[in-house]
Amino acid sequence: MDNAHCAPAVFKSLIEYFCGEKLSWEEMDRLGYSVEGKGTWTVPYHLKLAQCGVEVRIIEAFDYEAFAAEGKKYLESLGERGQFYINSSNWQNAFDSISDFLAAVHHESRNATIKEIDELLEQGYLVGAELNSRALNDKAGFVLHYVLVKAKQGDKYLINDPGGSTAAFENRLVSKDLFKQAIGGELAQYEVAAFRKI
């Protein structure tokens, strides 16, 4: 619907698929504590999926335990990336869910590898990935974006891309080289999340 709803769009589809609940955009905004014009943290969405019986695994360098303990101070320690969170996201509204999130969701504080993403797909997980939508569309520049990787087909990935700053694509086939470039190289630079019904 706009450039700030790529992650909610992916999670809207995951909640409908796994939990059988078709939430409106207004309900998604309430669930995610969305703030107009700012990026939405995925914490409440992960928690919602875990609460309806989905195994949720998150791999990213962000340290949620440190964030739970230190809040804004931890974000400030991340430099430019932390300032982006502070100024351009709804981190304060998502912060209240962190304790429940840590109890329900498996989190590893490191970067995922492309090989690991391939293995998760082979094991039947759907994989959410934060990446650079400009690189995904073979263009210069950087725009943080969220997509759902459904499967690997040969040397390509089958992706649902909710669009926003670009056109939306269902069942988009993306080459491994292009996907690797968009995600930041052999090591994913941002969040990778895997979802599978228990």
Q: What angle do CA 156, 134, 92 make, to 5 degrees?
A: 105
Who contacts 185 (Cβ-Cβ below 8 Å, separation ≥6)?
none
Per-residue pLDDT at 164 = 60
Instruction: Supply the mean pLDDT for the chain.
Output: 91
CA distance 30 to 179: 31
- Asked whether residue 165 carries a pLDDT value surpassing 70, the answer given is no
DSSP string, 89-137: B-HHHHHTTHHHHHHHSEEEESPPBHHHHHHHHHTT-EEEEEEEHHHHT
Encoded amino acid at 37, one letter: G
Sign, CA torsion 38/111/128/146: positive
* 2 band by pLDDT with thresholds 50, 70 and 90: low
Read off φ and ψ for residue 151, nearest 5 degrees: -170, 165
Per-residue pLDDT at 43 = 94
Q: Which of 59, 35, 34, 44 is nearest to 14 (CA)?
A: 44
Q: Kindly state the helix (H) or strand (E) to which residue 67 belongs, with its residue range.
A: helix 64-70
* 166 band by pLDDT with thresholds 50, 70 and 90: low
CA distance 114 to 176: 9
Q: Which two tokens stand for residue 193?
A: 């999340």
The domain ranges of the chain are: 6-109, 114-197
- Asked whether residue 1 carries a pLDDT value surpassing 90, the answer given is no
Per-residue pLDDT at 20 = 97
- Asked whether residue 186 carries a pLDDT value surpassing 70, the answer given is yes
Per-residue pLDDT at 146 = 92
pLDDT in tens, 48-95: 999 999 999 999 999 999 999 999 999 999 998 899 899 989 999 889
